[in-house]
Structure 1
Amino acid sequence: MKRTVGQLMARTALRVPLFLWTVAVLYPIFWMFLGSFKTNAEIYSNPWGLPETFNFQNYVMAWTDYNISTSVFNSLIVTVLGAILCLILAIPTAYAIERIKFKGSHVLFTLYISAMMIPMVLAWIPLFFLLAQLNLLDNLVGLAVVYALSQLPFTIFVLTSFISTIPKSLEESAAIDGMSPYGILWKIVTPLTMSGIITVTIMNTIQFWNEYFMALIFLQSEGNYTLALAIDYISNEAQYTNAWGTLFASLVIAIIPVIILYAIFQRRITKGMTEGAIKG
């Protein structure tokens, strides 16, 4: 009986802080969602209450008047290109580091891991001048390349832990049957590391979708603004035009894809991170 009471108290002591933390995280999102359906008068008069009517005018204004539709498209381009390019570069590199033992391979892997510890802010100024020389400044493709390279060390680190668990006998059997090294990589190794690939792709996608500072530095024209920059512009405008409902609607538009993506692949992410931790 004492053990049961003690276990109940321990579980309660653990769950209460988690419940309070969940409320603290979810309530601002819920409040923002309700605010996106309110008029400015309702936001000022009853900021914490429910809207009198669910008005979608704020979403229409954000989508058309503030050109959020273009920013969503720009963010989608940058996110997809960055995630794909990162995988194209990371998968062969991780395979080469893990399987092809050459002089300096361990040093190369250490350099990749060390790159994870370097703050990205230190590279912003050199990257600005480099992109300017390559005529990729204020260019969505250039920003996607920067995004891909910024997440390359992390992606390689995760994928090497998955590749290391694949039995070499599978690759040796395929080589005996006449399969080329590239065939082994893309037809055997890649499918067997799909959990890790999906995990890093989702994490990179969320990172690219929400990124703000590099987009602010490397993009200049409003037509190339990503969603984060567009929301920042609306936030500045709201201080003078009282377009708080439009700002809330823009924020909802920005977070809905992330929530949907995470909800769909939640088990995949958990499984991939758990396997990566165990395998690493």
Structure 2
Amino acid sequence: MLRLTGRTAVWLFTALNVLLLYWLVAASFKTPLEIFRDPFGLPYTWFARGNPFRNYLYAWNQAEFGHAFMVTVVLVAAASASIVLVSAPAAYALSRFGVRGSGALTGFLAIGMGVPMQTVIIPLFVGLAAFGLTNSLFGLYVLYVALSVPFTVFLLTGFFRTLPEETEEAAALDGASPLRTFVSITLPLARGGMVTALILNAIGLWNETLLAIVFIQENSGFTLARALFTFYGAATYQSEYGGLIAGVAIVVLPMLALYLLLARRIITGLTLGAGK
């Protein structure tokens, strides 16, 4: 009975999300009148006029999404890769070397993940201002990496602990140093967990808005989420709800496509990585 209830809840939640995704995509091709009159119907007007992508073009041009898209891609790619590169050695040390206080340190990282961002936003701003890194993409990059490392270390520590130690012991007997063992033995086995960490960080940073709003003021440094936040006021003032929803779709759909593309690899990497 409990299993049936759980499955029913999961399927209902999945159906709700699919319905919302359908509404988002359909509404992004509609006029404002169609959005309110027939919210779940198929779009018609812009297709009939031969301009089906009118809302997307409007959002792309008015919100300057082109530049913001390139900024976001570079920033998120650099930050996500840096987070994994920094977190993987730290997680390996905590899980393998018996570092003194490693258990307490791992728990401290877990507690740190529960601190609300709103409570530290002012100290972060003061700290970055002291180094002249406000209104700077490099400053935002530093924040993204620093604030994402605790979650990633915690995630990878649990994953490294599931990997077999026999291969590492055999490498040590052959004279391999801990660094060479980590690079040549452990990292290939851990690629599933590292890909998962990379994708989770990329999705989270792609949609991050609060830090971008607080620390970036110039249009040249706007990320997609920051540009969308600015576009919201102009679009609602002009009643361009179709363009606004198209802007949301531009922000949301790339990460959804990335997840669907790599979901199978993530799952198989997690389940088979230790056996290869």
Task: Say yes or no: TM over 0.5.
Answer: yes
Deviation of 1:45 after TM superposition, in Å, equals 5.2
Deviation of 1:196 after TM superposition, in Å, equals 1.0
When the two structures are superposed, what TM-score results if normalisation uses the length of structure 2? 0.85
| Counterpart in the other structure of 2:101 | 104
3-state SS of paired residue (1:51): coil
Is the 1:58–1:249 contact (alpha carbons within 8 Å) kept by the matching residues of 2?
A: yes
| Counterpart in the other structure of 2:21 | 29
| Correspondence 1:66-81 to 2 at 5 A | 66-81=63-78
Partner AA of 1:148 in structure 2: V
Is the 2:192–2:267 contact (alpha carbons within 8 Å) kept by the matching residues of 1?
A: no
Deviation of 1:18 after TM superposition, in Å, equals 4.7
Is the 1:82–1:148 contact (alpha carbons within 8 Å) kept by the matching residues of 2?
A: yes
| Counterpart in the other structure of 1:141 | 138
| Counterpart in the other structure of 2:117 | 120
Residue in structure 2 matching 1:180, options 170, 177, 202: 177
Deviation of 1:274 after TM superposition, in Å, equals 7.1
CA spacing shift, 1:92–1:18, aligned 2, 3 Å: closer
3-state SS of paired residue (1:265): helix
Partner AA of 2:64 in structure 1: N
| Counterpart in the other structure of 2:61 | 64
Q: Distance in 2 between matches of 1:181 and 1:172?
A: 10
CA spacing shift, 1:168–1:33, aligned 2, 3 Å: closer
Is the 1:63–1:69 contact (alpha carbons within 8 Å) kept by the matching residues of 2?
A: yes
Is the 2:63–2:228 contact (alpha carbons within 8 Å) kept by the matching residues of 1?
A: no
| Counterpart in the other structure of 1:4 | none
CA spacing shift, 1:46–1:101, aligned 2, 3 Å: closer
Q: Distance in 2 between matches of 1:20 and 1:102?
A: 45
Is the 2:29–2:43 contact (alpha carbons within 8 Å) kept by the matching residues of 1?
A: yes
Deviation of 1:29 after TM superposition, in Å, equals 2.5
Residue in structure 2 matching 1:265, options 256, 262, 267: 262
3-state SS of paired residue (1:153): helix
Q: Extract unaligned runs of 5+ from structure 2.
A: none
Deviation of 1:73 after TM superposition, in Å, equals 1.4
The Cα offsets for residues 239-262 of structure 1, whole Å up to 9 and x where unpaired, read as 211121211111111111111111
Q: Distance in 2 between matches of 1:164 and 1:239?
A: 50
Q: Distance in 2 between matches of 1:44 and 1:117?
A: 39
The Cα offsets for residues 28-77 of structure 1, whole Å up to 9 and x where unpaired, read as 32222122222345445544432224311211122223201111112212
Q: Distance in 2 between matches of 1:271 and 1:221?
A: 42
Task: Count residues with an aligned counterpart.
Answer: 267
Is the 2:71–2:222 contact (alpha carbons within 8 Å) kept by the matching residues of 1?
A: yes
RMSD: 2.6
CA spacing shift, 1:246–1:133, aligned 2, 3 Å: same
3-state SS of paired residue (2:203): helix
| Correspondence 1:198-237 to 2 at 5 A | 198-237=195-234
Q: Distance in 2 between matches of 1:31 and 1:105?
A: 47
Q: Extract unaligned runs of 5+ from structure 1.
A: 1-6
Is the 2:195–2:266 contact (alpha carbons within 8 Å) kept by the matching residues of 1?
A: yes
